[in-house]
Amino acid sequence: MNPNPFIYGLLPEELEVFCKEHGQPAFRAKQVYDWLYGKLVSSFDEMKNLPADLRELLSEHFSFQTLEKLEVSGEPGETQKLLFKLSDSEMIETVIIPAPRRGTNTVCISSQVGCVFGCAFCASGQKGVIRNLTAGEMVGQVMEVGRELGERPNNVVFMGIGEPFDNYSEVMKAIRILNHPDGLNIGARKITVSTCGVVPGIERYAEEGLQVELSVSLHAPDSETRSQIMPVNETWPLDELMDACAAYTEKTNRIITFEYTLIKDLNDSLGQAHELVKLLRRFPCRVNLIPLSPVEEFEGERPDRETMQTFFQALEKAHINTTLRDSKGSNLKAACGQLRSRRINEVF
Q: Which residue's CB is nearer to ligand SF4, number 320 or number 334?
A: 334
- Per-residue x/- track, 323-342, ligand SF4 (CB under 6 A): ----------x---------
Does 122 help bind ligand SF4 (rule: CB under 6 A)? yes
Cβ atoms of 224 and 261 within 8 Å: the answer is: no
Residue nearest to ligand SF4 (CB): 125
Is 93 in the active site?
A: yes
CB of 1 to ligand SF4, least distance (A): 25
Q: Find the catalytic residue in 115, 122, 196, 336.
A: 336
- Enumerate the H helices of the chain as residue ranges: 12-21, 27-33, 52-61, 135-149, 168-179, 199-206, 223-229, 232-235, 238-252, 270-280, 305-317, 332-335, 338-347
- Choosing from 9, 125, 136, 140, the residue that interacts with ligand SF4 (CB under 6 A) is 125
Is 196 in the active site?
A: no
Q: Find the catalytic residue in 93, 137, 148, 297.
A: 93
CB of 184 to ligand SF4, least distance (A): 24
In sequence order, what are the residues at sequence separation of 6 or more whose Cβ sits closer than 8 angstroms to the Cβ of residue 178? 139, 142, 156, 184, 186, 191
Does 290 help bind ligand SF4 (rule: CB under 6 A)? no
- The strands making up 91-99's β-sheet, listed across from edge to edge, are 68-73, 80-85, 91-99, 104-108, 155-158, 191-195, 213-217, 256-262, 285-291, 321-324
Q: Which residue's CB is nearer to ligand SF4, number 108 or number 161?
A: 161
| Rounded distance between C-alpha atoms, residue 96 and residue 207, angstroms | 30
Does 163 help bind ligand SF4 (rule: CB under 6 A)? yes
Does 140 help bind ligand SF4 (rule: CB under 6 A)? no
Angle between helices 305-317 and 270-280 (to 10 degrees): 30
- For ligand SF4, the binding residues (CB under 6 A) are 115, 117-119, 122, 124-125, 161-163, 196, 333
Known catalytic residues are 93, 336
